[in-house]
């Protein structure tokens, strides 16, 4: 019975992924050729990617085949090959389309990535999820295929003309300021998380010791979190410039209404809620029996905190730092409205000029940064979990 149903039922995830990919490859513009970086141009289909169009069709067919493959093993192999293959082929197809279309154009002409290419990427991701839960675990432990795909994308930059795509050109033009803005972004977000921890961890600790404090601290940080970041930034400018004007010493330190100061204060305030809440929950969840045991061993309450409670609460505190970091990487983009310099400048300049490439150049690194920090800090939190309590 179960064998029978396995044979007749096809994998609908692969089917949906194939349909999405097909829609992206046929119904939407693959690339756009524009006379210069600001004006709209003509849209072009996947047909301009030459042989890579056929490779795309082939991989979509492979995804469809994987949906009806007889064995689970064949399904997972075919859908994985299709998904990874589509990403690699997409990189080369974009490069090919860019170099073909740019022949005979002026040097300011640009070929930018169309919505179809993004939808193909989305379709590839869906196909990658075909084949069931168990396979996913197996696949995640394999480094080979992702490395091959990365190599294919990098080689498309070097030999495949992917560096002719307007996003790469926009980057080349602004390479120097890009790295400065990226550094500014990391520094401001990092400082916000650090300050958030400096204030948040003690506040969380205080909340565990006093019931009244707990209500106030969690309530106030919760309200701060609700206030839109741009509004909080606007509300901070006035008091900070007043403070800077009243106390020249503080002004020399950079406390002004405009610049990094209001941004940093706002970021610190946003970092508080996740850090305070997780510190509080982490400490409150420490098993009272463990604390009693420590006290029985003659530990002072200070020793108890440093050797027992904080180490046990550390994974949750780290979790709070992770949430705060991901949050702050996004909100940092808004501090440019108060005069800070970071990747937000590229995003909002791009939006102001209707320059899609500039927007991408700012927004893509912000997303990558958020995802990388998320993955890195959750791995760190796992490592910091004391061995005895690891699950």
Residues found near another protein in the complex (CB under 8 A): 11-13, 16, 112, 115, 118, 125-126, 129, 132-133, 136, 223, 225-235, 237-238, 257, 326, 329-331, 333-334, 337-338, 344, 347-348, 350-352, 354, 356-357, 359-360, 362-364, 366-367, 370-371, 374
Could you tell me the smallest distance in angstroms from the CB atom of residue 163 to another protein?
19
- Beta-strand pair 110-113/42-44: unpaired
- Give the shortest CB-119-to-another protein separation in angstroms: 9
Cα 29 to Cα 163: distance, rounded to the nearest angstrom: 20
CB of 13: closest distance to another protein in angstroms? 5
User: CB 207 → another protein: shortest distance, Å?
Assistant: 20
Of 195 and 230, the one with the shorter C-beta distance to another protein is 230
Question: Closest separation between CB of residue 25 and another protein, Å?
Answer: 16
29 vs 311, beta carbon nearer another protein:
29
3-class SS letters over 26-87: HCCCCEEEECCCCCCCEEECHHHHCHHHHHHHHHHHHHHHHHHCCCHHHHHHHHHHHHHHHH
Minimum distance from residue 6 beta carbon to another protein (Å)? 13
Give me 149's structure tokens: 């795909």
What is the nearest approach in angstroms of another protein to the Cβ of residue 175?
20
Cβ closer to another protein: 201 or 359?
Answer: 359
The nearer residue to another protein, 56 or 229, going by C-beta atoms, is 229
Spatial distance between the Cα atoms of 354 and 38, rounded to a whole number of angstroms: 7
d(CA 189, CA 325): 7
Minimum CB distance to another protein, residue 228 (Å)? 4
Question: Which among 214, 193, 201 has a CA at the least distance from the CA of 305?
Answer: 201
Least distance (Å) from another protein to the CB of residue 294?
34
Q: What are the CA-CA distances from residue 21 to residues 3, 15, 52, 388 (Å)?
A: 30, 10, 14, 47
Rounded CA-CA distance 229/76 in Å is 44
Closest CB to another protein among residues 59, 347: 347
Q: Which is nearer to another protein, 197 or 329 (CB)?
A: 329
Residue 163 backbone phi and psi in degrees, to 5: -75, -5
Both tokens assigned to 293: 């045991």
Comparison of 231 and 247: residue with beta carbon closer to another protein:
231
Q: Is the CB of 57 or the CB of 337 nearer to another protein?
A: 337
Q: How far is the CB of 382 from another protein (least distance, A)?
A: 16
CA 305, CA 299: separation in Å to the nearest integer? 9
Q: Which is nearer to another protein, 228 or 388 (CB)?
A: 228
Nearer to another protein, 316 or 331 (CB): 331
* 15 and 131 Cβ atoms separated by less than 8 Å: no
- Helix 260-284 / helix 229-246 crossing angle, nearest 10 deg: 110
């Amino acid at each position: 019975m179960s064998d029978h149903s396995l044979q007749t039922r096809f994998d609908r995830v692969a089917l949906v992924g194939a349909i999405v990919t097909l829609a992206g490859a046929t119904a939407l513009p693959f690339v756009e050729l524009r006379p210069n970086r600001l004006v709209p141009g003509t849209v072009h289909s996947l047909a301009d990617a030459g042989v890579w169009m056929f490779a795309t069709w082939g991989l979509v067919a492979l995804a469809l085949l994987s949906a009806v493959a007889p064995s689970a093993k064949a399904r997972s192999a075919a859908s994985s090959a299709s998904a990874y293959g589509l990403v690699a082929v997409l990189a080369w197809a974009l490069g090919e389309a860019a170099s073909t279309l740019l022949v005979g154009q002026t040097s300011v002409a640009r070929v930018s990535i169309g919505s179809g290419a993004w939808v193909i990427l989305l379709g590839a991701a869906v196909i990658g999820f075909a084949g069931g839960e168990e396979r996913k675990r197996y696949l995640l432990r394999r480094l080979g295929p992702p490395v091959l795909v990365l190599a294919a994308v990098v080689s498309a930059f070097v030999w495949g003309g992917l560096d002719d795509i307007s996003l790469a050109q926009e980057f080349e033009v602004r390479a120097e300021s890009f790295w400065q803005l990226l550094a500014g972004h990391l520094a401001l977000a990092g400082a916000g998380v650090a300050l958030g921890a400096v204030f948040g961890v003690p506040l969380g600790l205080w909340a565990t010791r006093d019931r009244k404090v707990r209500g106030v601290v969690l309530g106030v940080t919760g309200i701060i979190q609700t206030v839109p970041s741009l509004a909080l930034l606007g509300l901070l400018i006035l008091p900070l410039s007043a403070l800077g004007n009243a106390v020249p010493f503080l002004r020399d330190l950079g406390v002004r209404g405009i610049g990094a100061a209001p941004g940093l204060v706002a970021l610190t305030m946003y970092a508080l809620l996740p850090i305070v809440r997780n510190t509080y929950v982490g400490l409150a969840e420490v098993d009272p029996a463990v604390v009693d045991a420590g006290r029985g061993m003659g530990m002072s309450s200070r020793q108890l905190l440093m050797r027992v409670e904080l180490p046990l609460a550390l994974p949750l505190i780290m979790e709070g730092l992770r949430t705060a970091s991901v949050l702050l990487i996004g909100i940092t983009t808004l501090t440019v409205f108060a005069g800070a310099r970071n990747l937000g400048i590229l995003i909002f300049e791009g939006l102001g000029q209707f320059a899609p490439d500039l927007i991408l150049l700012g927004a893509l690194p912000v997303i990558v940064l958020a995802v990388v920090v998320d993955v890195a800090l959750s791995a760190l939190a796992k490592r910091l979990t004391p061995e005895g309590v690891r699950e």
